[in-house]
Amino acid sequence: SVVERIAAPHSGPVPFSVEFFPPRSEAEEARLWHAVRVFERMNPAFVSLTYGAGGSTRDRTVRIAGELATSTTLTTVAHLTAVNHSVDELRGLVGAYADKGITNLLALRGDPPGDPMGEWIAHPEGVRYATELVELIGSLGDFHTGVASFPEGHHRAPNLAADTGNLVRKLRAGAEYSVTQMFFDVEDFLRLRDRVVAADPEQGAKPLIPGIMPITSLQSVRRMVELSGSVLPAATADRLAAAAGDGPEEDRAAVRAVGIDLCTEMAERLIAEGVPCLHFCSLNFARATSEVLERLGVDTRGALAPA
Ligand code: FAD
């Protein structure tokens, strides 16, 4: 399980994990497998595959997760969302993952397709909140379930206390750990950790795994941050903007270098704060994350050597 894997021996100062998304084309699929093989050599605690809800995406997601679990040595976590699914379909999906040997699931409610900020409409025979999905998975067999957490608070939670209450509920429902939404301000993460421990020390003792990412493009991180309703800290935005320059095109090489510095600095601070694992949103690229890991002292086994 994820909790066992993050307690297992690892190279470097802290275990790490990598998030992938289901590829949408053959070229993307080739890129994914390249990244998977690079990370595999570095012994991540686990890898995870996000869930895309649409029909063909769904089938591809299940296929790729199965291939990760069966044709690599990696502990694979499959994300699962409740959007547009009846309970019967959710049971079927959990069963499909189990058939491929996947028992680690990340239980999510998901966002409305199209507009993540739009109105959330429950499937008439589905579940309404991630807590119910955690309970459903727990009723289906011997699974190890994680949930999402939000250093800046979830965009639909009325306030941070309600958001913390929801995380505690998901953990009490049986989730063994949580992975945070990507963030860029370590203080937000530390405050979340303090709130969970204060709200329920027992649940607060479960691993709270920070989600981080080396920024390689100012334009795309701005879009990502906007979509998730979070903010870039001013100091981070300033450093990136200075690197981007004021030409018509951002200076990608300079932004990337600063992005890797920023991510390494965040990771070092999080390690000093005793986090159980660092979860990297790789966007299916291996190199930037590998550079951060190398700088942290993880044995990257020549992964950065030219191919
Ligand atoms: P929930 O925990 O159900 O919370 C949703 C909202 O409902 C919150 O505002 C909460 O406070 C509120 N709430 C919960 N219970 C109650 C209650 N009983 N009464 C009133 N309010 C309540 N999306 C994808 O589509 N695919 C993915 O693979 C994916 N992976 C993700 C991975 C991570 C690590 C993270 C952080 C997010 C991921 N997401 C993914 C996005 C996620 O689906 C959205 O952020 C979604 O809006 C929230 O999901 P949740 O599981 O936290 O929802």
Q: What average pLDDT does the structure give for the chain?
A: 93
Tell me: pLDDT of 53 over 80: no
Report the separation in Å between the CA atom of 41 and the middle of ligand 1, taken as the mean of its atom positions.
32
Report the separation in Å between the CA atom of 69 and the middle of ligand 1, taken as the mean of its atom positions.
25
Tell me: pLDDT of 307 over 60: no
Checking ipTM against 0.95, whether it exceeds it is yes
- Of 120, 133, 154, 278, the one to substitute when testing ligand 1's pocket (max ligand atoms within 8 A of C-beta) is 154
Half-sphere exposure of 144 (CA within 13 A, CB side): 17
Least confident of 4-18, 55-69, 249-263: 55-69
How much is the pTM? 0.96
Q: How far is CA 22 from CA 134, 181, 203, 276, 302, in A?
A: 22, 18, 31, 26, 26
The tens digit of pLDDT for each residue in 63-90 reads: 999 999 999 999 999 999 999 899 999 9
Position 4, amino acid = E
Across-strand partners of 49?
20, 78
Tell me: pLDDT of 253 over 80: yes
In the residue annotation, 273 being an active-site residue is answered as: no
Tell me: pLDDT of 56 over 80: no
Question: If phi over 0 gives left and psi between -120 and 50 gives alpha, with beta otherwise, what is residue 45?
Answer: alpha
- Could you say which of 4, 19, 187, 249 is catalytic? 19
User: To the nearest 10°, the Cα dihedral for 297, 300, 304, 307?
Assistant: 170
Query: Which residue would you say has higher pLDDT here, 303 or 20?
Result: 20
Tell me: pLDDT of 54 over 70: no
Q: How far is CA 226 from CA 115, 229, 230, 231, 301, in A?
A: 12, 5, 6, 7, 36
50 lines ligand 1 (CB under 6 A): yes
Indicate which residue's Cα is closest to atom 21 of ligand 1: 157
The tens digit of pLDDT for each residue in 170-208 reads: 999 999 999 999 999 999 999 999 999 999 999 999 999
In this prediction, residue 55 carries a pLDDT of 59
Report the candidate in 55, 52, 66 with the shortest Cα–Cα distance to residue 23.
52
Q: How far is CA 260 from CA 38, 111, 134, 188, in A?
A: 18, 29, 35, 20
Report the separation in Å between the CA atom of 157 and the middle of ligand 1, taken as the mean of its atom positions.
10
Q: Whose structure tokens read 């895309």?
A: 52
Tell me: pLDDT of 127 over 50: yes
The tens digit of pLDDT for each residue in 256-304 reads: 999 999 999 999 999 999 999 999 999 999 999 999 999 999 988 766 6
